[in-house]
Amino acid sequence: MTEPDQLTAQRLQEGFDALNRGQLDIAANACQQVLAEHPDMAAAHFLVGLVAVEGDERRVAHRAFKSVLKLDANHAAAWAQLARLNASEGRIALAEDALKEVRRIKPTDPAVLDLTGTVLNQLGEYETAKAFFAAVNRAAPGQTPYMMNLANALVFNGDIDDAVEVFREVIRIDPRSAQPHWGLANAVKATDTQHIAQMRALVTKYPGNDRAQSFLYYAIGKECEDLEDWTGAFEAFSAGAASRRRTVEFDEAEEDALFGLIRERFTADWLAGCAPGDPDPSPIFVLGQPRTGTTLIERVITSHSLVHSAGELQQFGLATRRGSQYVDRKRFSPGLFEAAATSDPAKIGALYLQTTARMRGTTPYFVDKLPVNYLHLPLILAALPNAKIVHLVRGAMDACFSSFKQLFADAYLHSYEQREMARHHIRYRELMAHFREAFPGRFIEIHYEDAARDLEPHARALISQLGLEWEDRCLNFHESDSGVATASAVQVRQPAHTRSIGRWRRYAEQLTPMHDTLTAAGIPAE
């Protein structure tokens, strides 16, 4: 294994520094320069893996970290990164094996502890993860990446005031870093324009850095909304969406083909002809479009003493891939659903239950709140026929605009351009209409607006439909101390409210492309 000379070490450090600033191109270029001269340098391969993780190039990341371990089998951070990747992909056994290696090599190393916390977060063990992040920051104070993970964990666990303090300290240490500004903006309501001015000045220091600019613009937009500066808010959201759109690859034609295939392939006759699935009644799926009240309803359900919140799990999609033995780098594809349609439903159901064992607690029931599971709805009905499914419905313009003004991590790539967002929503509506006709009575539907305006009767009806006895604690969901690792982590700590209903109307003129696309398809705005 090559030891770096002074120039090489400098290049590597520049690459790591660029990665911490979100400058992936600079970091990637540093990797290439070093590996061209030193192809067996473990640190360079490790940086390649980190850059690939940030760019959502999972296969590249896996290869890079495995290359590190071929060169240095005791590279604890590479093992930890593999644990993180495997956990996020539902490979729980592989993740746990990697964590064992981590603990063997460097049980107290801050980087290792930090990544262990990240893996625990992915496994839904939010409180334990927070303890790891806190320990990391005690062992290595003032390290902004560790501080950011602690701050996010504090938000997940409802410790908002503590999170705000950490975000502010990160900004004090590294005022040029974009992400903590976004975290702060989402954690606390703005009361003046001071932070907005700071972020607008910072935007100019990131020319061409779409990733950093998207964090800042979305943060500016959120704080402008807090101050009821609707013009400033939309300008910022629009700029943020444009920046984010330049960083993602969204193939609309492929999505259209996928939705069409699902409608054609998964029919009442198909379900009737399926072999019996796994009879386990414990899963409750809450699904729909993002930002439609899925987190609100999940919290109502999981406030019940017999129900555990497992978070947004990727496991059903992963079980479908494994059960159908379909290999494709894409998360959703027509080929995957074709293969799944002829697979053994019981096998898919059993794989799902097996891989969620760590996340679903000890109660009789658990909630999987991954919104995009609506694409899997027929497969869920076949694989887990006794599972309950709750579908959230929200007014079209509010649903679309709420996604448009939200910066997502690595999903919902259709949401950063108005017309693309609207056309996606049209396809989703058509798909759900098909499911209602093909599978009547097989899933529960709740309209967000109805629940927000008068929660109690709708909550009582829902709990009854789930076969549970009513508990008053279901109305006090905002007092729950369980973790929430979603974009709604702050909002759901508040009682149900109607402030978001019809919010799109404040931006009606600017949202004309979205509105006209929906109405041309016969979809009402409300």
**CB contact set of 239 (below 8 Å; sequence gap of 6+):** 213, 217
Considering the domain boundaries, does residue 138 fall inside one? Answer: no
CA angle centred on 145, ends 181 and 90, rounded to 5°: 105
User: Any idea what DSSP says for residue 444?
Assistant: E
Tell me which residue of 383, 386, 387, 423 sits closest to 403, measured CA to CA: 423
Q: Name, in order, each residue with C-beta under 8 angstroms of 83's C-beta and a sequence gap of 6 or more.
A: 94, 95, 96, 98, 99, 102, 115, 116, 119
pLDDT of 1 reads 53
Distance of alpha carbon 398 from alpha carbon 503, whole angstroms: 7
* Total number of domains in the chain: 1
154 located within any domain: no
The amino acid present at 147, given as its one-letter code, is M
196: its two tokens: 């907005």
Tokens read off for 293 = 């009240």
DSSP states along 195-257 = HHHHHHHHHTT-TT-HHHHHHHHHHHHHHHHHTT-HHHHHHHHHHHHHHHHTT----HHHHHH
Are 218 and 416 in contact by the 8 Å Cβ rule? The answer is no
User: How far is the C-alpha of 265 from the C-alpha of 504, rounded, in Å?
Assistant: 35
| pLDDT of the residue at 222 | 97
Terminal C-alpha separation, the chain? 62
- Look up residue 405 and give its two tokens: 């003004």
Q: What is the pLDDT of residue 493?
A: 47
Q: Classify residue 476: in a domain, yes or no.
A: yes
Whether 240 maps to a domain, the answer reads no
Residues of the chain with pLDDT under 70: 1-4, 90, 328-329, 480-496
Q: What is the pLDDT of residue 495?
A: 65
Q: pTM for the complete prediction?
A: 0.83
Q: How far is CA 201 from CA 15, 148, 171, 205, in A?
A: 25, 22, 14, 7
Amino acid at 348: I
CB 125 within 8 A of CB 94: no
Q: What's the confidence (pLDDT) of residue 123?
A: 73
In a domain? residue 441: yes
Long-range contacts of 254-258 (CB under 8 A, 24+ apart): 254/333, 254/334, 255/414, 255/424, 255/427, 256/427, 257/334, 258/332, 258/333, 258/334, 258/337, 258/375
- Decide: 255 and 427 in contact? Cβ < 8 Å: yes
Q: What is the DSSP letter of 415?
A: G
CA 229 – CA 216 distance, rounded (Å) = 16
> How high is the pLDDT of residue 8?
81
Instruction: Give the pLDDT score at 257.
Output: 95
In a domain, 179, yes or no: no
Tell me, what CATH number does 407's domain have?
3.40.50.300
Would 319 be classed as within a structural domain? Answer: no
Extract long-range pairs of 51-59: CB within 8 Å, 24+ residues apart: 51/19, 51/24, 51/27, 53/81, 53/84, 53/85, 54/19, 54/22, 54/24, 55/24, 56/410, 58/85, 58/89, 58/329, 59/329
Picking from 396, 376, 286, 386, the residue whose alpha carbon sits closest to that of residue 336 is: 376
In a domain, 146, yes or no: no
Bridge-based pairing state of the strands 365-368 and 388-393? unpaired
By residue count, the chain amounts to 526
The boundaries of the domain holding residue 510 are: 252-313+354-520
